[in-house]
Amino acid sequence: MAPTAGIDWASEAHEVCVSEEGRVNERFSVTHDERGIAALVGKLVRLGVCRVAIERPDGILVERLLDAGLEVLAIHPNQVKAARARFAVAHGKSDRFDAYVLAELARTDAHRFRALVPDGEQTKALRALTRAREDLVGVRVELANQLRAQLETFWPGALLFAAVDSPISLAFIERYPSPGDAKGLGAGRMAAFLARESYSGRTDPAELLARMKAAPQGTAGPEEQRARRVVVLGLVAALSPLVTEIAALDAQIRECLASHPDAAIFAPLFRDPKTTICPATLIAEIGDARGRYPTEAAMAADAGMSPVALESGKLRVATFRRACDKRLRVAVATLADSTRHWHPWARDVYRRARARGQDHPHAIRTLGRAWIRVLWRCWRDEVPYDPARHRNFNRLQTAGG
């Protein structure tokens, strides 16, 4: 049997163990730079290593291992932690020992883990864009909450628009960051400001001004107002470029999605043809390597749409699945939540789930699990969703649902 290797990944150096039939052949450490990674990959190939286990599914090191033709198993740290007791009585831990545990898991338990299969360049690009957008949106939400909290403390009149981080709202707060700055603001000046900012809302300037004046008046003194004004301007300065960059990423995602070969598979699942973020995330997280999910149950588990069963004696319960691709779970839940409003079959599945006593999040997961069966077949066969071939939907239509 060919040797197997385990790599305990770290940001600066990696511990490597090469074993054969349970005997350690090689132990060495390499630095996380070009020279170290190139030496590691070359040495593993020369030693005839057939399979490598590592505690992460992506990154430069993983990509280099895959490019060298090595089979790579991504093993969750919790699984490595649970396996340590198989190889040691004492509850010790070291990077060298973890590398050995990984090498042994690659030798004895390879059938339990999924080998990584690289996606195409278009899918990788879409994944980079959607994940970067998600990170920026998280920062935007955090900063927007801070800005709203500051304004509610001393200047709630500035919260005139639906979203505090919308371009028109940020422009207004930047121009009038404190009550003192808005003392001379009348209907005419408000109308001129909205015209300069190309305000597309239908609210009359006089009504916006009335809302501002009707808001509670803060009690902050001059010094506190000056301090909070500085804070507000700082938050606006941080938020404005974020909003711009997210919009630019949206445009890039739209362009990348339009040219992706799998876009047509998911497009019929969305009522609005302009929808991009959810289908792009689905494609990016599911990937285009058809061997990744051999069954629809595997896809459902990775998407967090199937529960975890706990059975012991008389105890039989199903619990929420936490170990999954969180981004894929959000995308599938978004799809389920949107389709329940317009798709008759999805509406029926959701309605029956609620009738069984499930709360809204649980019912969305039930509907998401049902959609996974459809998604997996379309994705596996590389054919767009077609309601005419959706048997459960057709049964519902026949029954007059």
- The one-digit pLDDT tens for each residue of the chain (401 residues) are 799 999 999 889 999 999 998 899 999 999 999 999 999 999 999 999 999 999 998 899 999 999 999 999 999 898 999 998 888 777 778 999 999 999 999 999 999 898 998 899 999 999 999 999 999 999 999 999 999 999 999 999 999 998 999 999 999 999 999 999 999 899 999 999 999 999 988 899 999 999 999 999 988 899 999 999 999 999 999 999 999 999 999 999 999 999 999 999 999 999 998 999 999 999 999 999 998 999 999 999 999 999 988 888 888 888 888 889 999 999 999 999 999 999 999 999 999 999 999 999 999 999 999 999 999 999 999 999 998 888 887 787 776 65
Are 114 and 217 in contact by the 8 Å Cβ rule? The answer is no
Structure tokens at 386: 């077609």
Amino acid at 217: Q
Are 396 and 348 in contact by the 8 Å Cβ rule? The answer is yes
Beta bridge partners of 4: 19, 51
Amino acid at 284: A
* Rounded Cα–Cα distance for residues 44 and 4 (Å): 9
- Which pLDDT score, from 0 to 100, does residue 201 have? 85
Say whether 269 sits in a helix, a strand or coil: helix
CATH of domain 4-112: 3.30.420.10
Dihedrals phi, psi of 29, to nearest 5 degrees: -125, 140
Structure tokens at 315: 């105890």
Dihedrals phi, psi of 9, to nearest 5 degrees: -75, 145
Structure tokens at 181: 């700055």
- Which pLDDT score, from 0 to 100, does residue 401 have? 54
Amino acid at 203: T
Domain limits of the chain? 4-112, 123-256, 265-398
Amino acid at 268: P
Answer left, alpha or beta for residue 92, where phi above 0 means left and psi between -120 and 50 means alpha: beta
* Rounded Cα–Cα distance for residues 263 and 330 (Å): 18
**What is the value of pTM for the model shown?**
0.87
H or E, element range at 286: helix 277-286
Q: How is residue 47 annotated by DSSP?
A: T
Strand order in the sheet with 71-74: 23-31, 13-20, 4-8, 51-54, 71-74
Name 182's Cβ contacts closer than 8 Å, sequence gap at least 6: 157, 158, 176, 212
> Which DSSP string corresponds to 54-98?
ES-S-SHHHHHHHHTT-EEEE--HHHHHHHGGGT-SS----HHHH
Say whether 22 sits in a helix, a strand or coil: coil
> Which DSSP string corresponds to 98-136?
HHHHHHHHHHH-GGGSPBP-PPPHHHHHHHHHHHHHHHH
Name 240's Cβ contacts closer than 8 Å, sequence gap at least 6: 170, 174
Q: Please name which of 155, 229, 239, 161 lies closest in space to residue 197, comparing C-alpha atoms.
A: 161
- Which pLDDT score, from 0 to 100, does residue 92 have? 73
- CATH 1.20.1740, domain 123-256, yes or no: no
End-to-end CA gap in the chain: 59
Structure tokens at 369: 């699990």
Are 155 and 228 in contact by the 8 Å Cβ rule? The answer is yes
- Which pLDDT score, from 0 to 100, does residue 261 have? 94
